[in-house]
Amino acid sequence: MKVVVGSDHRGFEAKKQIKAIVSELGHECIDAGTTSNEPVDYPDLAYVAATAVSKKEADRAILTCGTGIGMCIAANKIKGIRAALCHDELSAQISRGHNDSNVLCISGDLIGEVLLRKIVESWLTTKFSGGRHKRRVEKIGVIEEGKNPSEI
């Protein structure tokens, strides 16, 4: 699997760990930046990573900033992106299993190394369960088209 990893300056240290985890699990890791602790605007990096997933140049993306909130908001503006802010293994598993998230957003400031590894591993290994959840995910796409999902 191709996984794009991106961060702003506050998520830079966490991004280094994430890249190592992604590679250790045997996935191709594409670094979308940033390359240092120098201040940078998180929407710029979220756009690059989420667009790669949207255009199918990558399978998934993992983004980190101070809280993960900014990256999540920015990534979700890209059509076809289902970014999830996860703070634990369960939210990572459910975001994949029920919501088929294709972008994981993590706090660079609030998550320690051990939990970071558990979240990333859970998210990368959990498969979408389909079934009733497939219909719901399809309705998200309907909303992206500006339509009322209850009318389909």
What was the pLDDT predicted at 112? 96
Is residue 98 part of the annotated active site? The answer reads yes
Contact 50, 74 (CB under 8 A): yes
Confidence label for 42 from pLDDT (cuts 50, 70 and 90): very high
- State how far Cα 46 lies from the chain centre: 9
Task: State the catalytic residue, choosing from 29, 65, 72, 86.
Answer: 65
Domain boundaries, position 37: 2-151
Q: 59 by DSSP, 3-state: which?
A: coil
- The whole-angstrom separation of Cα 68 and Cα 11 is 8
**Is the pTM of the predicted complex or chain greater than 0.75?**
yes
Confidence label for 79 from pLDDT (cuts 50, 70 and 90): very high
Helix 89-97, helix 113-125: angle, nearest 10: 20
* Residue 63 in tokens: 């983004």
Task: State the catalytic residue, choosing from 29, 72, 98, 105.
Answer: 98
Q: What is the pLDDT averaged over residues 52-75?
A: 98
Percent of the chain with pLDDT over 70: 100
Question: How many domains does the chain divide into?
Answer: 1
The CATH number assigned to the domain holding 23 equals: 3.40.1400.10
Residue 152 has pLDDT above 90, yes or no: no
Is residue 86 part of the annotated active site? The answer reads no
62-90 burial: b if 16+ Cβ within 10 Å, else e: bbbbbbbebbbebbbebeebbbbbbeebe
Instruction: Give the pLDDT confidence of 83-141 residue by residue, as tens digits.
Output: 999 999 999 999 999 999 999 999 999 999 999 999 999 999 999 999 999 999 999 99
Q: 34: cis peptide before it, omega within 30°?
A: yes
